[in-house]
Homo-oligomer: A and B are copies of this chain.
Amino acid sequence: MELNSIEDIRHALREFADARDWEQFHTIKNLLLALNGEVGELSEVFQWLSDGELEELSVENRIRAQHELADVLLYLVRISDKLDIDLIQAAKEKLEMNALKYPVAESKGNATKYNRR
């Protein structure tokens, strides 16, 4: 499989669902529940780790994290595709909005303001 971009993943996921006749299960709400499930699984990898264990992640936890991060991305791309939203373009616009919202001078090391958004 040649996969180098969000766009490639979008196509691969579409073919994957089509081939298995799974489009019927991929409603927006179902996919959102699945996305929440995967973010929950990702959280569970880290929930009890100490600072030391976070600093030097075990091989087992690194692999689990890698798989869960992938799952989150896959559902995120699938949802965006179903909504016909360009994820990279959306991220670009959001980054530009954030640059305006958090000017460097006023936001420097400033957790309080950050927290208030």
Binding site for B on A (CB under 8 A): 1, 3-6, 9, 12-13, 16, 19-22, 24-25, 27-30, 32-44, 46-50, 54, 57, 62, 65-67, 69-74, 76, 79-80, 83, 85, 87-88, 90-99, 102, 104, 107-111, 114-115
Contact = CB atoms under 8 A, between A and B. Distances in A.
Nearest to A2: B92
Contacts of A90: 66-67, 69-70, 73
Contacts of A37: 40-41, 43-44, 47
5 contacts: A6-B88, A12-B95, A21-B108, A39-B39, A66-B93
Contact of A83 (B48, B65, B95): B65
